[in-house]
């Protein structure tokens, strides 16, 4: 497959990045993951806005304007427009001359992007849901930045997978914040609840869309903290992300969520979401 690297489109096995790139040596960079359905980049503008926010937060200049980003990503997606895809893009601070934690002001960011097919949604997911485990959030205090430095997320997700679960739900100071690579919703007495945005979670584009769709369809929702007890006592638990959409969690730490099946509000929102995607 073709990838984009520093202004060029080229076969992925010919793309080369320096070993002195700060992304390689420090994880010094940010990224985005954007789905494309039927060749169309889904919710592109909010993804590019979040990219710009991440870049500003870590003081890397944004190498492209929104129309330039759009042109690059559309060209990548156009290669396989027939299948649903997820576009990965990352911007690192660039290549340094010698290893130094502090960064010089004049580096040229390294820009990389690729597009890969998204697997067909598994019908068993909507039917049976997924298993999750809860884990202590071992990440830093700036989880709103979509940084490529993902070692804690990698270790958390791996621990979940080794426990036979699809995702880890993270707990910090008695509150459930989000998943290792997804945002969290619960349903209690018909009310949809998701934690408010802040430095301890990623402002998910799918999260915002679910809230927008809830508002549009008269589904009551609230942005508010979710305590560990509320998580465990919830009627429904959902996780959202750009690549997995909405996933109903039906087992948490070995205990059924609600009656152990995807709930009625999940089924309603899943239908609304699928319709919106078309
Ligand atoms: N992850 N929270 C975290 C920590 C994430 O890494 C992600 C997405 C989300 C969901 O955000 P969005 O709805 O904008 O995809 C929440 C991407 C998909 C990834 O790392 O592959």
Among the atoms of ligand 1, which is closest to the Cα of residue 183?
16
CB 116 within 8 A of CB 83: no
Point out which residues pair with 167 in neighbouring strands. Answer: 132
C-beta atoms surrounding 265 within 10 Å: 21
- d(CA 76, ligand 1 centre) in Å: 21
Which residue spans of the chain are classified as CATH 3.20.10.10?
123-277
The CATH number for 2-117, chosen from 3.40.50.2000, 3.40.50.300, 3.60.15.10, 3.30.470.10, is 3.30.470.10
Give me the mean pLDDT over the 132-153 stretch.
Answer: 98
Q: Which two tokens stand for residue 212?
A: 């927008």
| CB within 8 Å of 229: residues ≥ 6 apart | none
Query: In the annotation, is 146 catalytic?
Result: yes
| DSSP-based three-state secondary structure for 58 | helix
pLDDT at 81 over 80: no
Q: Mean of the per-residue pLDDT values for the chain?
A: 96
| Any ligand 1 atom below 6 A from CB of 177 | no
pLDDT confidence of residue 121: 77
Regarding predicted confidence, which is higher, 123 or 7?
A: 7
Residue 143 has a pLDDT of 98
By most ligand atoms within 8 Å of CB, the mutation choice from 155, 166, 211, 241 for ligand 1 is 241
Residue 33 CB less than 6 A away from ligand 1: yes
**Residue 73, pLDDT score:** 98
Assess whether pLDDT exceeds 90 at residue 108. yes
Tokens 């067909």 found at: 120
Q: What is the reported pLDDT for 228?
A: 98
Residues 6+ apart with CB under 8 A from 128: 250, 261, 262
Catalytic site residue from 146, 197, 244, 277: 146
- Report in angstroms the alpha-carbon separations of 72 from 32, 65, 126, 136, 154: 14, 11, 34, 38, 28
Q: What number does the ligand 1 atom closest to the CA of 206 have?
A: 13
For residue 65 the two structure tokens come to: 């304007």
Strands 175-179 and 167-172: antiparallel
For residues 143 and 223, what is the distance between their CA atoms, to the nearest angstrom? 18
- CA of 88, closest atom in ligand 1: 21
ipTM, 2 decimals? Answer: 0.98
Which pLDDT value is given to residue 123?
A: 86
Condensed to tens digits (0 to 9), the pLDDT of residues 170-224 reads: 999 999 999 999 999 999 999 999 999 999 999 999 999 999 999 999 999 999 9
**Residue whose CB lies within 8 A of the most ligand 1 atoms, among 90, 114, 119, 182, for a mutation test:** 182
Going by the DSSP 8-state scheme, the letter that residue 108 receives in this structure is: P
> Binning pLDDT at 50, 70 and 90, where does residue 79 land?
confident
Q: Which residues contact 164 (CB under 8 A, 6 or more apart)?
A: 131
pLDDT at 80: 77
Ligand 1 within 6 A of CB of 202: yes
Q: DSSP states of 219-256 as a string?
A: --EEE--EEHHHHHT-SEEEEEETTTEEEEEEEETTEE
Q: Is 54 in the pocket of ligand 1 (CB under 6 A)?
A: no
pLDDT at 271: 96
End-to-end CA distance of the chain: 26
Contact 170, 228 (CB under 8 A): no
Beta bridge partners of 94: none
Instruction: Please choose from 35, 169, 202 the residue to mutate so as to test ligand 1's pocket, defined by most ligand atoms within 8 A of CB.
Output: 202
Which segments of the chain belong to CATH 3.30.470.10? 2-117
Tens-digit pLDDT profile for residues 248-262: 999 999 999 999 999
Which residues is 184 bridged to in the sheet? 239
Residue 225 DSSP one-character state:
-
Centre of ligand 1 to C-alpha 106, Å, is 30
We find that the CATH architecture of domain 123-277 is Alpha-Beta Barrel (3.20)
In this structure, are residues 204 and 198 in contact, taking their beta carbons and an 8 Å threshold? Answer: no
Provide the pLDDT for residue 62: 98
- The residue-averaged pLDDT of 47-68 equals 98
């Amino acid at each position: 497959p073709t990838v984009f690297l520093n202004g060029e489109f080229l076969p992925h096995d010919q793309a080369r990045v320096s070993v002195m790139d700060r992304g390689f040596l420090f994880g010094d960079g940010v990224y985005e993951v954007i789905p494309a359905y039927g060749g169309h980049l889904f919710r592109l503008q909010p993804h590019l806005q979040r990219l710009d926010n991440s870049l500003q937060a870590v003081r890397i200049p944004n190498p492209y304007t929104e129309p330039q980003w759009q042109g690059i990503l559309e060209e990548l997606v156009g290669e396989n427009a027939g299948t649903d895809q997820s576009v990965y893009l990352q911007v690192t601070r660039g290549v340094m001359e010698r290893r130094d934690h502090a960064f010089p002001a004049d580096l040229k960011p390294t820009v990389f992007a690729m597009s890969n097919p998204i697997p067909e949604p598994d019908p068993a997911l909507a039917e049976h849901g997924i298993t999750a485990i809860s884990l202590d959030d071992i990440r830093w205090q700036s989880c709103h930045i979509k940084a490529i430095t993902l070692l804690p997320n990698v270790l958390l997700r791996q621990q979940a997978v080794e426990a036979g679960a699809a995702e880890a739900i993270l707990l910090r100071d008695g509150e459930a914040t989000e998943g290792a690579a997804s945002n969290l919703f619960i349903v209690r007495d018909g009310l949809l609840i998701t934690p408010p945005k802040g430095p301890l979670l990623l402002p998910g584009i799918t999260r915002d869309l679910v809230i927008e769709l809830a508002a549009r369809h008269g589904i009551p929702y609230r942005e508010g903290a979710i305590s560990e007890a509320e998580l465990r006592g919830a009627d429904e638990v959902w996780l959202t992300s750009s690549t997995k959409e909405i996933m109903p969690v039906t087992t948490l730490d070995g205990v059924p969520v609600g009656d152990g099946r995807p709930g009625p509000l999940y089924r309603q929102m899943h239908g609304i979401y699928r319709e919106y995607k078309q």
